[in-house]
């Protein structure tokens, strides 16, 4: 029996109820759970007795190596990511590093990503075509990020922004909004979802001009509507084309 299994798991945006049954089953089956400390703490008491290993936020390569190497010892290991492991998560890195561990079977288990969890909190902003863009320039040149923002706005796509700001990247959301305001009207509908499913969960809706004056952090997901998006009773709704 092949016991060298590494599950790369999306635990969803925060609260344990938004995890899938498949993710919960993989965690229960695991000998070891590897992850960033905050995400380990979000798992809830059910997994308190499990052995856990963690690394710092930016130590992604070490974290993936650690998980692969522990699985290679014959253990069943789960590497957890917030949201979905395939959206700015660890799935790609694990698959790239897997070459060094030919005996390990990697299984990617999807989760609810912040784009759709935040959309549910705000209303229904993603009813039409959309682009998901990260403002983090730690691994991507800012020029490329700017090009993506412009292209999405010019094509009238709804825009979802991940990682809008962090301590080291203050003012990035304003920078992005200023680029979008070159193309889009200031009254364009916008919204933010903060700490989705966690303590301090908060939804805000308003205009793109107002958004450009707001602050955000790594736990905020930002939405800019397309030309049909409206704010109604505080909810952000993009028309699917039913003409409603």
Residues of this chain, 126-145, that bind its own copies according to CB under 8 A: 126-134, 138-140, 144-145
Is 45 an interacting residue with respect to its own copies (CB under 8 A)? no
Question: Which tokens hold the place of 90?
Answer: 């660890």
Rounded distance, CA 164 to CA 211, Å?
A: 12
- The 139-178 contact track toward its own copies, x by CB under 8 A, reads xx---xx-xx-xxx-xxxx---------------------
Is 183 an interacting residue with respect to its own copies (CB under 8 A)? no
* Minimum separation from the CB atom of position 158 to its own copies (A): 9
Question: Which tokens hold the place of 101?
Answer: 């561990």
* Minimum separation from the CB atom of position 20 to its own copies (A): 5
Residues 97-116 that bind its own copies (CB under 8 A): 97, 108-113, 116
Among 52, 69, 92, 174, the residue binding its own copies under the rule CB under 8 A is 92
Is 96 an interacting residue with respect to its own copies (CB under 8 A)? yes
Q: Is residue 124 exposed (0-12), middle (13-18) or buried (19+ Cβ within 10 Å)?
A: middle
Among 34, 67, 81, 84, the residue binding its own copies under the rule CB under 8 A is 84
The Cβ of residue 241 has, within 10 Å, a number of other Cβ atoms equal to 9
125 neighbors 229 (Cβ within 8 angstroms): yes
Based on CB atoms, which residue is closest to its own copies, 4 or 128?
128
Is 242 an interacting residue with respect to its own copies (CB under 8 A)? yes
The Cβ of residue 60 has, within 10 Å, a number of other Cβ atoms equal to 16
Is 244 an interacting residue with respect to its own copies (CB under 8 A)? yes
* Minimum separation from the CB atom of position 186 to its own copies (A): 22
Is 125 an interacting residue with respect to its own copies (CB under 8 A)? yes
Based on CB atoms, which residue is closest to its own copies, 12 or 35?
12
Is 59 an interacting residue with respect to its own copies (CB under 8 A)? no
Based on CB atoms, which residue is closest to its own copies, 54 or 223?
223
Q: In sequence order, what are the residues at sequence separation of 6 or more whose Cβ sits closer than 8 angstroms to the Cβ of residue 101?
A: 4, 68, 69, 71, 72
Q: Is residue 201 exposed (0-12), middle (13-18) or buried (19+ Cβ within 10 Å)?
A: middle
Among 123, 164, 191, 225, the residue binding its own copies under the rule CB under 8 A is 123
* Minimum separation from the CB atom of position 172 to its own copies (A): 15
3-class secondary-structure state, position 77: strand
124 neighbors 114 (Cβ within 8 angstroms): no
131 neighbors 152 (Cβ within 8 angstroms): yes
The C-alpha angle 101, 105, 107, rounded to 5 degrees, equals 125
Is 237 an interacting residue with respect to its own copies (CB under 8 A)? yes
């Amino acid at each position: 029996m092949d016991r060298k299994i590494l599950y790369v798991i999306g635990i969803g945006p925060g609260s344990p109820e938004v995890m899938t049954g498949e993710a919960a089953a993989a965690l229960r089956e695991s000998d070891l759970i590897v992850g960033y400390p905050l995400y380990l703490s979000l798992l809830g008491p059910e997994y308190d007795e499990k052995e856990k290993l963690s690394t710092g936020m930016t130590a992604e390569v070490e974290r993936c190596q650690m998980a692969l190497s522990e699985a290679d010892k014959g253990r069943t290991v789960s590497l957890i990511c917030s949201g979905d492991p395939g959206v700015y998560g660890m799935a790609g890195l694990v698959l790239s590093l897997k070459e060094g561990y030919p005996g390990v079977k990697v299984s990617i288990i999807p989760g609810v990503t912040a784009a759709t969890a935040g959309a549910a909190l705000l209303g229904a902003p993603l009813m039409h075509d959309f682009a998901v863009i990260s403002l983090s320039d730690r691994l991507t040149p800012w020029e490329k990020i700017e090009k993506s923002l412009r292209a999405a706005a010019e094509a009238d796509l709804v825009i979802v922004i991940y990682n809008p700001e962090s301590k080291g990247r203050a003012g990035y959301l304003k920078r992005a909004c200023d680029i979008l305001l070159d193309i889009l009207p200031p009254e364009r509908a916008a919204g933010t979802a903060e700490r989705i499913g966690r303590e301090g969960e908060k939804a805000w809706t308003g205009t793109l001009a107002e958004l450009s004056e707001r602050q955000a952090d790594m736990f905020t997901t930002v939405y800019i509507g397309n030309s049909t998006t409206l704010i109604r009773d505080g909810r952000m709704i993009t028309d699917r084309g039913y003409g409603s």
